Chains A and B, each alone.
With several copies, the nearest count.
Chain A
Amino acid sequence: MRSRPLAAAACGLGTLLALPVAAAAQDAPAATTDSLAAQVASLASAIDTVWVVVAACFVLFMQAGFALLETGLSRSKNAGAVMAKILINLAVAITMFWISGFALAFGSGNDFIGTSGWFFNATGFPAAAGTAFASASASVSSLFIFQMAFCAISLAIVFGSMLDRTKFAAYIAFGVVFAGVIYPMVAHWTWGGGWLFKDGFLDYAGSSIVHLQGALGALAGAIILGPRLGKFRKNGEPVPIPGHSIPLAIAGVLILWFGWMGFNGGSSLVAHGVDFADVLLTTNFAAAAGVMGATLGSLLMFRTIDVSQMGNGAIGGLVAITASCAFVDYWAAFVVGLVAGLLIPVVVVFVERRGIDDPLGALAAHGVAGVWGTLAIGLFGTATRMDPVIVDVVGLPSRAGLFMGGGFSQLWVQFYGVAATMAFTGTLCAVTFLAIKHTIGLRVSEDHEASGLDISEHGMFGYPESFIEVPGAQPTPGPAWGGDADPSHAMTTSTPATAP
């Protein structure tokens, strides 16, 4: 051991893992094709796992994006409460996905629901024990992390339309139901091999499964909560409440954009034997087009280039391409994103006209863009790109989108898939929010809302120095600001006063 401390380091750090490949390469008497084949399969699994894990981390990081986006678009008296919400929601989503979510979504069961594998009991997953899955693709643990991060994203979307007025306890209660039951069931229908999967419904990375579901929760929540105090004038005219920090909000959008590379890119779940990187092209083209679409739309509708709408345009483009990124050509991806971007300001205004107060624009960016993106497969999907799933996996005859000469069949499946999701998730979310409203309460009191959630729910402002006295917050100019450059602290020379 003395002479090989680095290897020891590896061991100490890394539970010293059998290293069959390396061993074979060195001291095995002779490499046989069989032993090599086993090693190659192990490496294939490793590379898939690395990609899925990295992608999962990117998706997890999107929580920081949502945190900044939402805090930026809330008022500064509620800025801390948003961060508390993100933390507790992430905690609840992780816990519930472990307890029941993964089992309901990916456990074996029937066409509607999985029924095995509670508490991520891997023995509950026959597939996981199957050699094909275990040796050929990413490890089940990595898949769990990836799916867990998706579930947490869907939950994070919900509360974007509920900022500035929701009770802390409601986040927990809703999160338990949504992440533990609602989201996984719909995920099972498609990604868990359920009825939509068998019908050939396509949603590559979750335009409808992740984003539309989140937006439906947001819609139900925003309606049941009602608008923020002062959001509408007596005549119903909306009052601008523009949040407190566009820089933080758009930094959030850029983090989301980055995270989406894992969101869409990682949804291949494999890294070898397929050009998994290609979906990042469609993803970026749609995001770029979304920004352009929202810029143009904002200019036409509002006669101003609304920065928050530009950010929503990026998100809208990304949401829209999420379902279709693997199924459409580059130009179509650009169109999908552009339309999503153009829709953003239209939907934002429409929603506000209906008296619904959605501070984030989640209904436009995640809801309508999610629907549009899911349907877009039925319009722009190409047979070349769809066949590997529709034909080879599901076993249906080849199809293409309407505009690609494929008729209405795929569009119809996409349509009723979306409709079923809207009916199911919308109803359950509304019921859940109503139940919360009539038990622990959904909305803070008017006093608390006026005071801000930070001080009323958390005892302290998110920007304390703005609102309360903080000892020493105001720099008291003593000689340090003036001319007494103290020669004794060489490294910390204060600026000499120049006053004559």
Chain B
Amino acid sequence: MKKIEAFIRHEAFDAIRDRLANMGLPSMTVSEVKGSGRQQGYTESYRGAKTTIFLRPKLKLEMAVDDEDVESAVATILELAHTGEPGDGKILIFNVAEAVRVRTGERGPAVLARHEDPLAT
């Protein structure tokens, strides 16, 4: 079991979510974060006082998947989040020691398995 953490642009999310859901991987969590990186800062100005801001709004996408789905999920994100401009973000992959489904108490890879759930598409 692996967890994918991807720091991406907001604009990319809808397409990624759709594609992954179609692949049977609708389960994920996103959060609003601010990122600093190679992308240039911007300047705000208020009554003449200026500040340069290095943090920019990004989305953090977290999804735990079964080992066999990691590469396809990463490929999807890579394809759809890519613009070629600085600020495209990074994808990190972690080992998951254990996964539990709260609704059922199930554990292990089954919890993260691909599923063709009509509701979730």
In the complex the two chains form, is A468's CB within 8 Å of B52's CB?
Answer: no
Residues of chain A within 8 A (CB-CB) of B9 are 476
Residues of chain B within 8 A (CB-CB) of A468 are 44, 53
Query: Which of A27-35, A60-68, A492-500 touches B?
Result: A492-500
Residues of chain B within 8 A (CB-CB) of A306 are 45-48
Contact (A238, B49) CB under 8 Å given A476-B11, A499-B40 = yes
Question: Is there a chain B Cβ closer than 8 Å to A242's Cβ?
Answer: yes
CB distance from B85 to the nearest CB of A (A): 9
Among candidates B10, B43, B49, B50, residue contacting A474 with C-beta atoms closer than 8 Å: B10
Q: Within the assembled complex, what's the spacing in Å between the Cα atoms of A201 and B102?
A: 66
In the complex the two chains form, is A474's CB within 8 Å of B52's CB?
Answer: no
In the complex the two chains form, is B46's CB within 8 Å of A460's CB?
Answer: yes
Residues of chain B within 8 A (CB-CB) of A455 are 42, 44
Query: Which of A46-54, A108-116, A250-258, A344-352 touches B?
Result: A344-352
Residues of chain A within 8 A (CB-CB) of B46 are 240-242, 306, 308, 459-460, 464
Contact (A474, B57) CB under 8 Å given A240-B51, A482-B40 = yes
In the complex the two chains form, is B47's CB within 8 Å of A495's CB?
Answer: no
Residues of chain B within 8 A (CB-CB) of A475 are 57
Question: Is there a chain B Cβ closer than 8 Å to A481's Cβ?
Answer: yes
Question: Is there a chain B Cβ closer than 8 Å to A309's Cβ?
Answer: yes
Contact (A460, B48) CB under 8 Å given A474-B10, A476-B9 = no
In the complex the two chains form, is B11's CB within 8 Å of A495's CB?
Answer: no
Size bin of chain A's contact surface: 35 or more
Q: Within the assembled complex, what's the spacing in Å between the Cα atoms of A467 and B42?
A: 12
Question: Is there a chain B Cβ closer than 8 Å to A180's Cβ?
Answer: no
Question: Is there a chain A Cβ closer than 8 Å to B72's Cβ?
Answer: no
Question: Is there a chain B Cβ closer than 8 Å to A401's Cβ?
Answer: no
How many residues of chain B have a CB within 8 Å of chain A? 24
Question: Is there a chain A Cβ closer than 8 Å to B119's Cβ?
Answer: yes
Closest-by-CB residue of A relative to B54 is: A499
Question: Is there a chain B Cβ closer than 8 Å to A16's Cβ?
Answer: no
In the complex the two chains form, is B43's CB within 8 Å of A498's CB?
Answer: yes
Question: Is there a chain A Cβ closer than 8 Å to B56's Cβ?
Answer: yes
Question: Is there a chain B Cβ closer than 8 Å to A301's Cβ?
Answer: yes
Contact (A240, B44) CB under 8 Å given A497-B52, A500-B118 = yes
Main secondary structure of the interface of B (DSSP, over half): strand
Residues of chain B within 8 A (CB-CB) of A349 are 47-48
Question: Is there a chain B Cβ closer than 8 Å to A403's Cβ?
Answer: no
Question: Is there a chain B Cβ closer than 8 Å to A247's Cβ?
Answer: no
Residues of chain B within 8 A (CB-CB) of A482 are 40-43
In the complex the two chains form, is A496's CB within 8 Å of B43's CB?
Answer: yes
Question: Is there a chain B Cβ closer than 8 Å to A123's Cβ?
Answer: no
In the complex the two chains form, is A348's CB within 8 Å of B52's CB?
Answer: no
Q: Within the assembled complex, what's the spacing in Å between the Cα atoms of A459 and B44?
A: 5
Question: Is there a chain B Cβ closer than 8 Å to A483's Cβ?
Answer: yes
Contact (A497, B42) CB under 8 Å given A469-B55, A476-B9 = yes
Closest-by-CB residue of A relative to B59 is: A474
In the complex the two chains form, is B45's CB within 8 Å of A304's CB?
Answer: yes
Question: Is there a chain B Cβ closer than 8 Å to A463's Cβ?
Answer: no
Q: How many A-B residue pairs have CB under 8 A?
A: 99
In the complex the two chains form, is B47's CB within 8 Å of A348's CB?
Answer: yes
What per-residue 1/0 map shows which CB atoms of A177-191 lie under 8 Å from chain B?
A: 000000000000000
In the complex the two chains form, is A240's CB within 8 Å of B45's CB?
Answer: yes
Residues of chain A within 8 A (CB-CB) of B119 are 499-500
In the complex the two chains form, is A477's CB within 8 Å of B57's CB?
Answer: yes
Residues of chain A within 8 A (CB-CB) of B40 are 482-483, 497, 499
Residues of chain B within 8 A (CB-CB) of A483 are 40, 43
In the complex the two chains form, is A309's CB within 8 Å of B41's CB?
Answer: no
What per-residue 1/0 map shows which CB atoms of B90-121 lie under 8 Å from chain A?
A: 00000000000000000000000000001101
Q: Within the assembled complex, what's the spacing in Å between the Cα atoms of A476 and B118?
A: 22
Closest-by-CB residue of A relative to B87 is: A477
Q: Within the assembled complex, what's the spacing in Å between the Cα atoms of A306 and B41?
A: 20
Question: Is there a chain B Cβ closer than 8 Å to A206's Cβ?
Answer: no
Question: Is there a chain B Cβ closer than 8 Å to A361's Cβ?
Answer: yes
Q: Within the assembled complex, what's the spacing in Å between the Cα atoms of A301 and B45?
A: 11
In the complex the two chains form, is B43's CB within 8 Å of A301's CB?
Answer: no
Q: Within the assembled complex, what's the spacing in Å between the Cα atoms of A158 and B2?
A: 55
What per-residue 1/0 map shows which CB atoms of A298-316 lie under 8 Å from chain B?
A: 0001111010110000000
In the complex the two chains form, is B47's CB within 8 Å of A498's CB?
Answer: no
Question: Is there a chain B Cβ closer than 8 Å to A17's Cβ?
Answer: no
Q: Within the assembled complex, what's the spacing in Å between the Cα atoms of A481 and B53?
A: 9
Specify which of B45, B46, B48, B50 lies most central, judged by the most chain A CB atoms within 10 Å of its CB: B46
Q: Within the assembled complex, what's the spacing in Å between the Cα atoms of A467 and B56?
A: 9
Closest-by-CB residue of B relative to A450 is: B11
Among candidates B10, B11, B47, B56, residue contacting A302 with C-beta atoms closer than 8 Å: B47
What per-residue 1/0 map shows which CB atoms of B44-79 lie under 8 Å from chain A?
A: 111111111101110000000000000000000000
Contact (A352, B41) CB under 8 Å given A477-B57, A499-B119 = no
Closest-by-CB residue of B relative to A353 is: B48
Contact (A239, B42) CB under 8 Å given A469-B55, A477-B57 = no
Pairs A–B under 8 Å by Cβ, sample size 8: A241-B46, A242-B46, A352-B47, A467-B57, A477-B57, A482-B43, A499-B41, A500-B118
Using A483-B40, A499-B121 as known contacts, list a sample of 18 further A-B pairs with CB atoms less than 8 Å apart, ordered by residue number in A.
A237-B49, A239-B49, A240-B46, A240-B49, A301-B48, A306-B45, A348-B47, A352-B47, A464-B44, A467-B57, A468-B44, A469-B55, A477-B57, A482-B41, A497-B40, A497-B42, A498-B52, A499-B52
Q: Which A-B residue pairs are the 9 nearest by beta carbons?
A: A481-B42, A240-B46, A459-B45, A242-B46, A238-B49, A240-B49, A495-B43, A302-B48, A499-B41
